[in-house]
Structure 1
């Protein structure tokens, strides 16, 4: 079973993290938060964005990048960045890989990117657009990884409540 991982490096905006948490719950994805965070995890705004799903979230926090690396040795980490050499659809996401996103104001530090050039991926944009919203970026890349893994363990068909599709 695919068990993807989303990593947020020093996220700053609680609503983004709450929305990402909700996406992780809806997809069975683990969330990893690398401190410092720009908020407290018990703030109302993060719980409001994550709604009542936050208690179901598989989330782990780390004191810094080194702590994350020590606790996840050998992890295959794709790094979403506007500086990436590859488009996010050009790589093959393993069922247990990690997809990392940087903080809203600065992204992933360039020294981390430079040490991992082959796993840096980019969402294409027009012109000089600085970046997309963090929670939107996570959803775009995560759903590509899920698609590549055949949406393993996910409900693939919806149901009408009063009618049948063939009525």
Structure 2
């Protein structure tokens, strides 16, 4: 596992990682140079893929699954060592269900932090600040049906009568409408 933080490296080893490499440490990166068949790049922001390409063995592949923007790669970094760059989407419902079934059968669980739905604003603030380990899960059982959007979230349904909390859609015609 590549990481920029020694604390994350230690945490990853605690979760079962067999080998961690600080990507900010040139000496550590040199230890894996040309030795990996596959690197799955989950970095969600723009970054230089060159150090990860350098870690690939002959015919190795760099699979980009994190950042959705542009990536700049020097052709020579691919030619030397016959390396390839690939990507993968998250899959549809069937693939996602197969993955969840596999995880369930093998006791693979996610590291999550569960928050009450009312804390969605706090969750967004912490996401923006980079203060999140793994994933947030919002508890949905505490929802009351209020159509007011949470702070920071656009009300995409604003103006739609079914989403207007002042309109009771269960009632029939209003008495003053019947003439």
Scaled by the length of structure 2, what TM-score is found? 0.27
The answer to which structure, 1 or 2, has the higher relative contact order (CA under 8 A, 6+ apart) is 1
Scaled by the length of structure 1, what TM-score is found? 0.28
Structure 1 or 2: larger helix share?
A: 1
Greater C-alpha radius of gyration: 2
